[in-house]
């Protein structure tokens, strides 16, 4: 999402490490590093070989840090996440270099002079670069502080130092003109031994210099982004020292005890400090920005400390819907950046987008050092409960010592669909999971944050209200009377949605629906009843809402933007008190070093799961009660096994730490999905496992887990289902096993079986027949009810059909024909030839489904399904890339969609 314009920052540093190259190679080129890693592991102090590392800055959109590692036998590109781990790594890089450094004058081309002789040189000893002669030297060597003091505003400085025999050299970018956006550094964060280009701003010294990106690399086939450094500053690697201390990694029991006790004593070394948060939401109805956003984003005299800006319906085009690609992301990003409060400078921390749902997170540059653990995720709840036209995006982070989560949601439309909106909210909360700040911990959910700010087009309407009466109440500013009929208010009072959340008093007129370009209510044929669709809610402690308003001055959409200003008390670390708490804990631990072996008491040791069904979660729990000795526990792998449990089982948490006499509840989750159902259906796997609970310096506990799985059509091969004339749960395990292990092509030889196989699976026929008779004119989204047989709702049957196709171990179009289908996507004749080579049952199913989809298209006016939507959904289900295939790009997805569309647009299939 957004440009990937990584720009080399000219930050070259000699790293002494064969092991670093090895560790980076384990991550793989162009892959992200683990969320947590040991700098000591990556950067040993002994030097055997010199590698060069280039820190590549993030693009204007996105805030991850990319580092290029170059040695004689490796060239790796490693992406590091925003936050404390990256800063720790860069700190260790600086420690490995000589502390002595020099600064000399540079021209904008990035020329560097050698320290010893002042001679102009380039990497590899060349005296020219790219066929051009470098400019002459400007000035002599001076001390760093003096250079910064003497530098004129607008000039460039270059810093370098030697590490052993290997001097570090700047790179020279031919044709470099205006500098691109900057990566801001504080004095503490600035490296003492590196090669960099520094730009001195008016009235500044070395303490407020900015690293300048030297080598912009525009994204192919995209217009060059013209956002300047005055508009936004990225703050990817700024993290405070105290934040690093509080998010330290666990290398053993002692460190775990320290961390646990520090968290318990948090109130002893933190205090509350108020910060101002701006939260804004705007449904832009697919429009491009045509007016300044300052009346919305810079309404108050005092600038906020943090901005969270959310958009919905950013792009309504089919390209955005099917391929999640839109140029409007950059347009609105630029419009927001230009309209931030002029009395402060801001760093863009994160951008996240799902189709048309966009969210931007900014922080004042001087506060960026206190932001860490930034993660972003998306959840789609749109068509069939999964597509991204509806859903939510979220950004979570730690600010000082408080965890915060922003959620931007666009829920289901239409007045009567309030229950669907409630379900969308539950889906977003249930499916939104963030990577934990440390490996081995369970995923973070929205609810596991100190502060949650929820914004968006929530689409709740006014119940059973006459349009004219609503307009009269608005004209009279009788919002209190009107609010009594608000669906969101009623659903929250019934605790059906947003339980635990608060919303400020609504003292502004409804934000929907207006004639675009005016303040007039909707005069279209539909004449929508005005409603407060756009809302901002919050949950947490120490939160005070200062304002909650709409902004009528913006007229570019059929919605009006809404904003809220919050005063939030954030936990800030007092360094001196933190040090004292830390020392007290360490002294206490010293006295416990020779304590006895830890032991625990388990409330339950055997677990039985009865009648497990496909994709129906079953849970069991037990309590670990600790004795008098601090204890670190973990479920460990059994001999010759790669994981501590079978893939259908999970323990949460699977590791942890207990103080004396403390206890923790462990939940065992058993969940059978498409990756495990086939082996369970066939009997190749059983719901049987033994968990090994290991205590550090203590004993192991063995916990048997067993259950019975009810076989299902989900996860069964098509040829197996075609041979099943009776329900699968009425068949013997031996008969099921024989059919599941049936070779793919054997169904073509019908004579080898006592009975002729069915043309298509009876389960597929039941679902399609139900939809054909009841739902051709109404296909919408509803929660999936997996208990349906024939009498489920149209919506649940439709979603079950998609689930059935997705669960097939061999897709309708076999894996072996995937590449041939893409090659034939431009030719209906060739496509027919490919389909004709399918096994008989697969061929029959393909023809049957295409006929059904054509029938749906006959009623597209009522069900709102067209060739593009059906091609996008079923292209990814009927034609799936084989296991091990690289993730399909946009072009490959287009080909798959085009292949299915050919058959939808033709009246016949020639097989």
Output DSSP code: residue 744. G
Which pLDDT does position 137 carry in this prediction?
Answer: 32
Q: Bigger pLDDT: 168 or 806?
A: 806
Residue 3, phi then psi, degrees to nearest 5: -65, 150
Output DSSP code: residue 816. G
Total of domains in the chain: 4
Residue 15, phi then psi, degrees to nearest 5: -110, 130
Residues 702 and 774 in one domain: no
Q: Are strands 663-670 and 618-626 parallel, antiparallel or unpaired?
A: antiparallel
**How far is 385 from 367, CA to CA, in rounded Å?**
39
Which pLDDT does position 388 carry in this prediction?
Answer: 67
Residues 784 and 690 in one domain: no
Query: CB–CB of 586/255 below 8 Å?
Result: no
- Select from 228, 335, 309, 304 the least CA-distant residue to 556: 335
Q: For residue 386, name the pLDDT band (cuts at 50, 70, 90).
A: low
Which pLDDT does position 338 carry in this prediction?
Answer: 96
Q: For residue 146, name the pLDDT band (cuts at 50, 70, 90).
A: very low
% of the chain with per-residue pLDDT over 70: 67
Region 228-243: mean pLDDT is: 33
- Select from 818, 811, 822 the least CA-distant residue to 892: 822
Residues 568 and 663 in one domain: no
Helix (H, G, I), strand (E, B) or coil at 119: coil
% of the chain with per-residue pLDDT over 90: 44
Output DSSP code: residue 235. -
- Select from 505, 553, 546, 519 the least CA-distant residue to 279: 546
What's the length of the chain?
911
Least confident window among 384-398, 749-763, 818-832: 749-763
Helix residue spans in 640-760 (DSSP H)? 674-682, 718-722, 733-740
Helix (H, G, I), strand (E, B) or coil at 202: coil
**How far is 733 from 118, CA to CA, in rounded Å?**
82
| pLDDT at position 36 over 70 | no
Residue 681, phi then psi, degrees to nearest 5: -60, -40
Output DSSP code: residue 751. G
- Select from 375, 305, 374, 307 the least CA-distant residue to 337: 307
| pLDDT at position 891 over 90 | no
What's the burial of 447, exposed, middle or buried (CB within 10 Å: 0-12/13-18/19+)? exposed
Q: Domain for residue 349, yes or no?
A: yes
Which pLDDT does position 72 carry in this prediction?
Answer: 57
- Select from 567, 654, 650, 553 the least CA-distant residue to 609: 650
Query: CB–CB of 59/5 below 8 Å?
Result: yes
Domain with 59 in it: 50-104
> Mind giving me the DSSP string for 519-545?
SPBP-SSS-PPPB--EEEEEEESSEEE
| pLDDT at position 134 over 90 | no
Q: Are strands 433-434 and 618-626 parallel, antiparallel or unpaired?
A: unpaired
Q: What is the CA radius of gyration of the chain?
A: 31
Region 34-52: mean pLDDT is: 36
- Select from 730, 612, 747 the least CA-distant residue to 676: 612
Residues 350 and 471 in one domain: yes
Q: Domain for residue 157, yes or no?
A: no
Q: Domain for residue 65, yes or no?
A: yes
Q: Domain for residue 587, yes or no?
A: no
Domain boundary among 42, 69, 104: 104
Which pLDDT does position 594 carry in this prediction?
Answer: 55
Q: Domain for residue 549, yes or no?
A: yes
Domain boundary among 70, 86, 104: 104
Q: For residue 252, name the pLDDT band (cuts at 50, 70, 90).
A: low
Q: What is the mean pLDDT of the chain?
A: 74
Residues 275 and 356 in one domain: yes
CA distances from 743 to 720, 748, 810 (A): 9, 10, 11
Helix H or strand E segment including 27: helix 18-27
**How far is 102 from 88, CA to CA, in rounded Å?**
24
Domain containing residue 770: CATH number: 1.10.555.10
Query: CB–CB of 130/172 below 8 Å?
Result: yes
Which pLDDT does position 433 carry in this prediction?
Answer: 92
Report the Cα 895 to chain-centroid distance in Å: 26
Which pLDDT does position 65 carry in this prediction?
Answer: 59
Residues 418 and 539 in one domain: yes
Token code pair at residue 415: 């007045």
| pLDDT at position 828 over 80 | yes
| pLDDT at position 530 over 50 | yes
Q: Bigger pLDDT: 717 or 183?
A: 717
Region 718-722: mean pLDDT is: 88
> Mind giving me the DSSP string for 159-180?
EE-EETTEE------TT--S--
Residues 812 and 849 in one domain: yes
**How far is 13 from 845, CA to CA, in rounded Å?**
60
| pLDDT at position 702 over 60 | yes
Q: Domain for residue 288, yes or no?
A: yes
Q: Domain for residue 223, yes or no?
A: no
Q: For residue 211, name the pLDDT band (cuts at 50, 70, 90).
A: very low
HEC string for 458-522: CCCCECCCCHHHHHHHHHCCCHHHHHCCEHHHHHHHCCCCCCCCECCCCCCCCCECECCCCCCEC
Q: Bigger pLDDT: 783 or 393?
A: 393
Q: Domain for residue 29, yes or no?
A: no
Domain boundary among 648, 681, 709: 709
Least confident window among 230-239, 297-306, 558-567, 743-752: 230-239
Residues 410 and 484 in one domain: yes
| pLDDT at position 220 over 80 | no
Tell me: the pLDDT tens digits for 280-320?
999 999 999 999 999 999 999 999 999 999 999 999 887 77
Residue 735, phi then psi, degrees to nearest 5: -65, -40
Residues 494 and 546 in one domain: yes
| pLDDT at position 266 over 90 | yes
Which pLDDT does position 44 carry in this prediction?
Answer: 34
Residues 827 and 703 in one domain: no
Q: Bigger pLDDT: 55 or 871?
A: 871
Residues 541 and 626 in one domain: no
Token code pair at residue 730: 């009425």
| pLDDT at position 248 over 60 | no
Token code pair at residue 543: 């939160």
**How far is 235 from 359, CA to CA, in rounded Å?**
17
Which pLDDT does position 745 carry in this prediction?
Answer: 65
Which pLDDT does position 233 carry in this prediction?
Answer: 31
Domain containing residue 435: CATH number: 3.60.10.10
Residues 564 and 605 in one domain: no
């Amino acid at each position: 999402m957004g440009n990937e314009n990584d720009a080399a920052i000219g930050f070259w540093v000699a790293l002494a490490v064969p092991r670093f190259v090895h560790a980076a190679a384990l991550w793989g080129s162009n892959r992200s590093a683990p969320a947590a890693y040991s700098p000591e592991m990556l950067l040993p102090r002994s030097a055997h070989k010199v590698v060069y590392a280039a820190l590549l800055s993030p693009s204007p959109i996105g805030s991850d840090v990319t580092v290029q590692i170059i040695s004689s036998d490796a060239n790796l590109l490693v992406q590091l996440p925003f936050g404390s781990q990256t800063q720790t790594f860069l700190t260790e890089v600086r420690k490995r270099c000589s502390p002595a450094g020099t600064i000399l004058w540079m021209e904008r081309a990035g020329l560097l002079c050698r320290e010893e002789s002042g001679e102009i040189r380039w990497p590899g000893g060349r005296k020219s670069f790219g066929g051009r002669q470098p400019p002459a030297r400007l000035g002599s060597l001076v001390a760093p502080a003096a250079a910064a003091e003497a530098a004129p505003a607008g000039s460039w400085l270059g810093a370098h130092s030697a590490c052993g025999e290997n001097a570090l050299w700047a790179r020279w970018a031919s044709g470099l003109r205006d500098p691109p956006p900057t990566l801001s550094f504080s004095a503490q964060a600035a490296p003492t031994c590196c090669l960099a280009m520094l730009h001195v701003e008016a009235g500044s010294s070395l303490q407020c210099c900015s690293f300048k990106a030297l080598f912009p690399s525009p994204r192919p086939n995209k217009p060059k982004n013209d956002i300047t450094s005055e508009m936004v500053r990225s703050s990817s690697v700024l993290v405070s020292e105290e934040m690093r201390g509080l998010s330290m990694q666990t290398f053993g029991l002692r460190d775990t005890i320290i961390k646990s006790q520090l968290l318990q004593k948090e109130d002893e070394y933190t205090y509350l400090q108020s910060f101002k948060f701006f939260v804004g939401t705007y449904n832009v109805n697919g429009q491009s920005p045509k007016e300044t956003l300052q009346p919305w984003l810079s309404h108050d005299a005092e600038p906020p400390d943090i901005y969270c800006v959310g958009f919905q319906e950013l792009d309504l085009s089919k390209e955005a819907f099917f391929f999640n690609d839109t140029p409007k992301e950059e347009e609105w990003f630029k419009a927001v950046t230009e309209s931030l409060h002029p009395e402060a400078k801001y760093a863009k921390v994160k951008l996240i987008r799902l189709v048309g749902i966009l969210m931007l997170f900014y922080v004042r540059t001087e506060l960026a050092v206190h932001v860490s653990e930034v993660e972003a995720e998306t959840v789609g709840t749109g068509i069939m409960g999964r597509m991204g036209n509806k859903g939510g995006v979220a950004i979570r982070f730690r600010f000082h010592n408080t965890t915060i989560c922003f959620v931007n949601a666009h829920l289901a439309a239409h007045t009567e669909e309030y229950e669907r909106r409630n379900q969308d909210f539950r889906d977003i909360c249930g499916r939104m999971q963030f990577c934990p700040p440390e490996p081995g911990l369970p995923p973070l959910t929205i609810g596991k944050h100190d502060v949650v700010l929820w914004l968006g087009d929530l689409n709740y309407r006014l119940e059973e209200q006459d349009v004219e009466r609503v307009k009269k109440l608005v004209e009279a500013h009788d919002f209190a009377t009107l609010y009594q009929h608000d669906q969101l208010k009623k659903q929250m009072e019934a605790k059906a949605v947003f339980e635990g959340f608060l919303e400020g008093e609504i003292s502004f007129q409804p934000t929907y629906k207006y004639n675009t370009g005016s303040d007039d209510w909707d005069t279209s044929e539909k004449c929508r009843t005005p409603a407060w669709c756009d809302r901002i809610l919050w949950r947490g402690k120490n939160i005070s809402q200062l304002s909650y308003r709409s902004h009528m001055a913006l007229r570019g959409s059929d919605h009006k933007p809404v904003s809220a200003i919050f005063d939030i008390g954030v936990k800030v670390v007092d360094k001196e008190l933190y040090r004292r708490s830390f020392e007290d804990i360490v002294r206490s631990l010293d006295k416990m070093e020779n304590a006895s072996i830890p032991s625990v008491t388990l409330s339950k040791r055997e677990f039985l799961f009865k009648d497990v069904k496909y994709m129906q979660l079953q849970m069991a729990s037990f309590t670990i009660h600790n004795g008098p000795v601090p204890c670190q526990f973990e479920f460990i792998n059994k001999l010759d096994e790669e994981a501590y449990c079978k893939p259908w089982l999970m323990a949460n948490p699977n590791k942890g730490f207990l103080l004396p006499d403390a206890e923790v509840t462990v939940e065992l989750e058993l969940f059978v999905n498409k990756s495990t159902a086939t082996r369970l259906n066939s009997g190749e796997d059983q719901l049987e496992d033994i968990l090994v609970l290991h205590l550090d310096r203590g004993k192991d506990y063995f916990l048997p887990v067993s259950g019975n799985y009810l076989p299902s059509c989900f996860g069964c091969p098509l040829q197996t289902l075609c041979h099943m004339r009776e329900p699968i749960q009425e068949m013997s395990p031996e008969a099921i096993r024989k059919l599941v292990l049936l070779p793919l092509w054997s169904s073509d030889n019908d004579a080898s079986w006592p009975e002729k196989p069915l043309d298509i699976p009876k389960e597929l026929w039941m679902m399609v027949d139900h939809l054909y008779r009841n739902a051709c004119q109404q296909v919408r989204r509803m929660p999936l009810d997996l208990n349906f047989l024939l009498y489920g709702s149209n919506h649940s049957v439709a979603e079950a059909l998609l689930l059935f196709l997705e669960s097939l171990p061999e897709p309708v179009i076999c894996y072996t024909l995937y590449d041939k289908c893409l090659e034939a996507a431009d030719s209906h004749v060739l496509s027919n030839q490919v389909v004709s080579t399918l096994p008989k049952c697969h061929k029959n199913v393909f023809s049957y489904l295409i006929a059904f989809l054509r029938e749906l298209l006959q009623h597209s006016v009522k069900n709102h399904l067209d060739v593009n939507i059906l091609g996008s959904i079923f292209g990814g289900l009927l034609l799936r890339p084989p296991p091990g295939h690289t993730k399909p790009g946009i072009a490959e997805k287009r080909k798959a969609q085009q292949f299915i569309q050919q058959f939808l647009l033709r009246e016949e299939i020639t097989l």
